[in-house]
């Protein structure tokens, strides 16, 4: 099943670009072919247009009206997706959201609120799997920014019964930020459905309330972190008997031994004991081999979609490495080269390791009048949330952060990521954290947009780390030759589409 599901997947992703490029051509042909059929509709349109003109005093411009409808290239979308349908999975992949038999309220939310016109690849393939009885479990791996959140949020929203005021879906996230982000997406998408959502995250210090005084949950969907969810379940505040669907976001992290495996297993056991036949969905952009093994053991009878690690790096996001002699030169490069020439840079995330570098970068860029947000340890929870929100609302240009935000942080305007420090596994000196690296890259180039990643390498250790990363993903990262030469950066940025 895994192979079967994965192979059409691969094909579709590879085909996507070619097909998009070939779109105009195909469409022109399609148009020519359909010209005869469209001509019949035009006289009527014409009359309507005349009606419009009849309302005005301006002389009618339209006498010899068009014999054909205006060019509409969108037919090509169909052909492009049909190619996927022929892939031969047991489920029909959905070319439009309408195909999924969603409620009208949900469709309205998707189109009006979210502005989605059609499902992305991963959505087209996984949504039928999620929504078709017998509601099999699903493990899905897909590229960063390909729309996984929409998959499971939509899955939860459409499987929940809005009439019953009892928890029916649970989503577990590794961090509170992610839980809040997912909740925000869910509230927007489900705006017209009347479905409510509770956020199970540790309360801020100031509005702490003992769990025993809390009212039992009546919202249909609960999104939260594992610790709080367990607390709510054990204190019987969260009834699990009617849970129909259980989602793990960033599932590899939730099921990793050094992550939240024990918590996750406990919740899964609890829910499956009280609500038999609960559907489990695991989503992530990364699944390393060990987690993959474990997952296939836990989810025995389910659909699986995996992507090979060599194909995980995003095509549209160009990666570069720059050799830099010392720390202060890093800031110089950011300020005088990358920011100077990157005319089309939207928002930027700079990943740093220490508080001191955060401060330095922040001050240097603020002096240049770039509006920056920084996340650092001394902030309290609510301040941190507000600062992230400001960045998300597009009020600040640069976010300087540690790895807390690497995973899942969705900000559509980010098209440049700078690795001020390379991601290194905790407790080691030169062992790169591949997943974190991939997630960082994934912050740029959301939803197939162009983007760039600059890795600032300083010293031998960084070089070793970079080499290991290149080997792991089998993707050679081009180097910007001379950190002092403007032309080199110009060329790199131009290539990435940021100039």
Partner 1 sequence: MRVEDDDEDDTEDEDDGTSHGKSWALVAKGARFSCNDLESSDSEDELDGQVAPYRLMEKRDLAKSILLELEREHHLKVQEEVRNKLASLEVCHQNEIQRTISAFARLQKYAESRKEIDRRLDVHFQRRIAEVLDKHLSMVQRDHEQKSQIVERRIRDDAALEEAKRKEQAVKEEKLRQERARQEAEARQKEAAKLAAEARKTAFEAAKKEAAEKEAAEKEAAKLRDAAASQSSPNSQNNIAGIKVYADKYALEAESRRRALVQNQVPENIHLSKEFSKYDRQIAKSISKLMPTTDSVRARASELIKALDGQDCPRPISCYLFANKIISIVKSRNTKDKTFGNLAFACGYVMLLVTNQVPDAMDYLLAEFNRVCIYTVPKHLHALNAQARTRDYYKLIGYEEENEQLESTESYLTYVVAYVKLYAAMIQTEIKGVRHPHGLAEGWKWLAMFLNSLPATTATACALHAFLKMAGFALHKKYGSQFMKILDVISRCFLPALKEQGNKMQAEAVNNLQNYLNDKIYLEEPEGQYLVQQLLSKELFM
Interface positions, 348-387, toward partner 1 (CB under 8 A): 359, 362-363, 366, 369-374, 379, 383, 386-387
Which residue, 6 or 83, has its beta carbon nearer to partner 1? 83
Within 114-133, the residues that bind partner 1 by CB under 8 A are 115, 117
Q: What's the min distance (Å) between Cβ of 367 and partner 1?
A: 12
Which residue, 175 or 411, has its beta carbon nearer to partner 1? 411
Indicate whether 92 belongs to the interface with partner 1 (CB under 8 A): no
Which residue, 103 or 296, has its beta carbon nearer to partner 1? 103
Which residue, 117 or 474, has its beta carbon nearer to partner 1? 117
Paired with 457 in beta bridges are: 323
Query: Which range binds partner 1 by CB under 8 A, 120-128, 214-222, 251-259, 344-352?
Result: 344-352
Question: 450 φ, ψ to 5°?
Answer: -75, 155
Query: Which range binds partner 1 by CB under 8 A, 73-81, 166-174, 254-262, 287-295?
Result: 73-81
The count of chain residues that interact with partner 1, using the rule CB under 8 A, is 84
Contacting residue, 148, 397, 439, 443, with partner 1 by CB under 8 A: 397
Within 469-498, the residues that bind partner 1 by CB under 8 A are 498
Query: Which range binds partner 1 by CB under 8 A, 19-27, 198-206, 287-295, 433-441?
Result: 19-27
Q: What's the min distance (Å) between Cβ of 76 and partner 1?
A: 7
Within 286-305, the residues that bind partner 1 by CB under 8 A are none
Indicate whether 390 belongs to the interface with partner 1 (CB under 8 A): yes
Which residue, 140 or 493, has its beta carbon nearer to partner 1? 493
Cα angle: 471, vertex 472, 478; to 5 degrees: 50
Indicate whether 105 belongs to the interface with partner 1 (CB under 8 A): no
* Separation of alpha carbons 219 and 205, rounded Å: 24
Contacting residue, 4, 10, 11, 77, with partner 1 by CB under 8 A: 77
Q: What's the min distance (Å) between Cβ of 33 and partner 1?
A: 9
Which residue, 377 or 427, has its beta carbon nearer to partner 1? 377
Which residue, 366 or 428, has its beta carbon nearer to partner 1? 366
* Separation of alpha carbons 317 and 416, rounded Å: 9
Indicate whether 112 belongs to the interface with partner 1 (CB under 8 A): yes
* Separation of alpha carbons 488 and 197, rounded Å: 50
What torsion do the CA atoms of 236, 240, 242, 245 make, to the nearest 10 degrees? 150
Indicate whether 276 belongs to the interface with partner 1 (CB under 8 A): no
Within 219-248, the residues that bind partner 1 by CB under 8 A are none
Contacting residue, 1, 20, 236, 257, with partner 1 by CB under 8 A: 20
Which residue, 143 or 253, has its beta carbon nearer to partner 1? 143
Within 33-72, the residues that bind partner 1 by CB under 8 A are 35, 38, 41, 44-45, 48-49, 51-53, 55-58, 61-64, 66-72
Contacting residue, 12, 76, 146, 313, with partner 1 by CB under 8 A: 76
Within 403-462, the residues that bind partner 1 by CB under 8 A are 412-413, 415, 446-447, 449
The 3-state secondary structure of the chain, one letter per residue: CHHHHHHHHHHHHHHHHHHHHCHHHHHHHHHHHHHHHHHCCHHHHHHHHHHHHHCCCCCCCCCCCCCCCCCCCCHHHHHHHHHHHCCCCCCCCCCCHHHHCCCHHHHHHHHHHCCCCCCCHHHHHHHHHHHCCCCCEEEEECCCCCCHHHHHHHHHHHHCCCCCCCCCEEEEECCHHHHHHHHHHHHHHCCCCCCCEEEECCCCHHHCCCHHHCCCCCCCEEEEEHHHHHHHHHCCCCCCCCCCEEEECCHHHHHCCCCCHHHHHHHHHHHHHHCCCCEEEEEECCCCHHHHHHHHHHCCCEEEECCCHHHCCCCCEEEEEEECCCHHHHHHHHHHHHHHHCCCCCEEEEECCCHHHHHHHHHHHHHCCCCEEECCCCCCHHHHHHHHHHHHCCCCCEEEECHHHCCCCCCCCEEEEEECCCCECCCCCCCECHHHHHHHHHHCCHHHCCEEEEEEECCHHHHHHHHHHHHHHCCCCCEECCCCCHHHHHHHHHHHCCC
Query: Which range binds partner 1 by CB under 8 A, 32-40, 167-175, 216-224, 299-307?
Result: 32-40
Contacting residue, 155, 342, 408, 442, with partner 1 by CB under 8 A: 342
Task: Work out the burial of residue 427: count CB atoms within 10 Å of its CB; fewer than 13 is exposed, 13-18 middle, 19 or more buried.
Answer: exposed
Q: What's the min distance (Å) between Cβ of 45 and partner 1?
A: 5
What distance lies between CA 467 and its chain's CA centroid?
Answer: 27
Which residue, 268 or 345, has its beta carbon nearer to partner 1? 345
Q: What's the min distance (Å) between Cβ of 333 and partner 1?
A: 16
Query: Which range binds partner 1 by CB under 8 A, 111-119, 209-217, 301-309, 469-477?
Result: 111-119
Q: What's the min distance (Å) between Cβ of 406 and partner 1?
A: 19
């Amino acid at each position: 099943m895994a192979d079967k599901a994965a192979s059409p997947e691969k094909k579709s992703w590879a085909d996507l670009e070619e097909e998009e490029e070939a779109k105009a051509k195909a469409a022109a042909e399609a148009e020519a072919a359909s010209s005869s059929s469209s001509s019949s509709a035009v006289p009527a349109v014409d009359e309507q247009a005349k009606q419009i003109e009849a309302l005005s005093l301006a002389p009618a411009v339209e006498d010899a009206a068009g014999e054909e409808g205006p060019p509409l290239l969108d037919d090509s979308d169909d052909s492009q997706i049909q190619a996927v349908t022929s892939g031969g999975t047991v489920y029909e992949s959905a070319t439009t959201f309408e195909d999924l038999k969603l409620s009208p309220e949900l469709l309205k939310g998707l189109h009006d609120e979210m502005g989605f016109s059609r499902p992305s690849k991963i959505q087209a393939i996984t949504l039928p799997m999620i929504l078709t009885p017998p509601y099999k479990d699903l493990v899905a791996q897909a590229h960063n920014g390909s729309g996984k959140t929409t998959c499971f949020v939509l899955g939860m929203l459409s499987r929940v019964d809005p009439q019953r005021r009892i928890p029916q879906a649970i989503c577990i996230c590794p961090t509170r930020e992610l839980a809040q982000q997912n909740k925000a997406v869910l509230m927007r998408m489900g705006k017209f459905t009347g479905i409510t959502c509770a956020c199970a995250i540790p309360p801020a210090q100031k509005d702490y309330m003992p769990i025993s005084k809390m009212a039992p949950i009546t919202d249909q969907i609960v999104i939260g972190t594992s610790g709080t969810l367990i607390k709510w379940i054990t204190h019987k505040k969260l009834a699990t008997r009617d849970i129909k669907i259980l989602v793990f976001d960033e599932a590899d992290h939730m099921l990793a031994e050094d992550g939240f495996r024990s918590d996750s297993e406990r919740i899964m056991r609890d829910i499956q004991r009280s609500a038999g036949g609960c559907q489990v969905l695991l989503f992530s952009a990364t699944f390393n081999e060990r987690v993959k093994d474990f997952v296939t053991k836990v989810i025995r009878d389910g659909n699986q979609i995996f992507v090979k690690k060599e194909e995980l790096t995003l095509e549209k996001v160009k990666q570069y490495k720059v050799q830099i002699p010392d720390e202060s030169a890093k800031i110089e490069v950011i300020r005088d080269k990358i920011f100077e020439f990157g005319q089309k840079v939207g928002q930027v995330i700079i990943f740093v390791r220490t508080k001191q570098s955060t401060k330095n970068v922040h001050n240097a860029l603020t002096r240049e009048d770039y509006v920056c947000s920084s996340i650092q340890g001394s902030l309290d929870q609510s301040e941190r949330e507000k600062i992230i929100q400001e960045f998300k609302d597009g009020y600040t240009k640069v976010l300087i952060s540690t790895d807390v935000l690497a995973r899942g942080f969705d900000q559509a305007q980010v098209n440049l990521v700078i690795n001020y420090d390379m991601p290194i596994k905790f407790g080691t000196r030169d062992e790169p954290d591949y997943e974190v690296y991939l997630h960082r890259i994934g912050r740029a180039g959301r939803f197939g947009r162009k983007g760039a990643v600059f890795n600032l390498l300083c010293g031998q250790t960084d070089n070793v780390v970079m080499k290991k990363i290149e080997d792991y993903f089998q993707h050679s990262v081009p180097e910007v030759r001379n950190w002092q030469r403007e032309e080199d950066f110009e060329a790199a940025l131009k290539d990435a589409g940021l100039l």
